[in-house]
């Protein structure tokens, strides 16, 4: 399970790298459920637990309610910097992957529409099959975050993955990661 979640996050991150280069300077951090995507992993998880999330087994994944649905949440952090830079929410649906177009697209489209309305931003499709969209988030004319929404597969079930990226911390993570190259 942890490998699948990690793989999903890395796939999304690799797709977003070109867009991250366009970041603007800002001191505002993007938020997930009202929690700034900033600070240490321990601090972020403590705040997540106050919202009712509980650790899922012995993994660094948390189970709780988000958008009126039971979800799994992974908190991405740079261990070297001890800094949270993204939060991934996974809604696993009991839908066979061959039926995702009829059963999952309406939920996917509804989520994307709601995110576009909330953040006053238009989604950018990253593939022709509409399995993946990217929503840039601006506040006060400053680029503060990204939301990536995708349809995926876990075993025989489908999932909707929504990842919230804080631009400032992701850029710090990317710089730290690239110094080893």
**Domain residue ranges in the chain:** 2-178
* pLDDT number for residue 128: 64
pLDDT(21) > 80: no
* Least confident stretch, 26-35, 56-65, 77-86, 128-137: 128-137
pLDDT(155) > 50: yes
Determine the straight-line distance between the first and last CA of the chain, rounded to whole angstroms: 29
Q: What is the mean pLDDT of residues 29-45?
A: 95
């Amino acid at each position: 399970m942890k490998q699948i979640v990690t793989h999903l996050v890395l796939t999304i991150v690799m797709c977003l790298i070109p867009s991250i280069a366009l970041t603007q300077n800002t001191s505002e951090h993007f938020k997930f459920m009202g929690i700034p995507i900033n600070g240490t992993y321990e601090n972020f998880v403590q705040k997540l637990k106050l919202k009712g999330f509980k650790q899922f087994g012995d993994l660094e994944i948390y189970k709780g309610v988000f958008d009126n649905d039971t979800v799994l949440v992974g908190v991405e952090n740079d261990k070297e910097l001890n800094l949270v830079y993204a939060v991934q929410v996974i809604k696993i649906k009991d839908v066979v992957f061959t039926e995702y177009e009829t059963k999952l697209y309406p939920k996917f489209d509804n989520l994307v529409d709601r995110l576009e309305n909330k953040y006053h931003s238009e989604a950018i499709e990253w593939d022709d099959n509409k399995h993946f969209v990217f929503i840039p988030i601006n506040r006060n004319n400053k680029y503060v975050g990204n939301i990536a929404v995708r349809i995926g597969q876990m075993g025989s079930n489908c999932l909707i993955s929504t990842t919230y990226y804080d631009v400032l911390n992701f850029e710090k993570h990317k710089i730290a990661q690239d110094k080893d190259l």
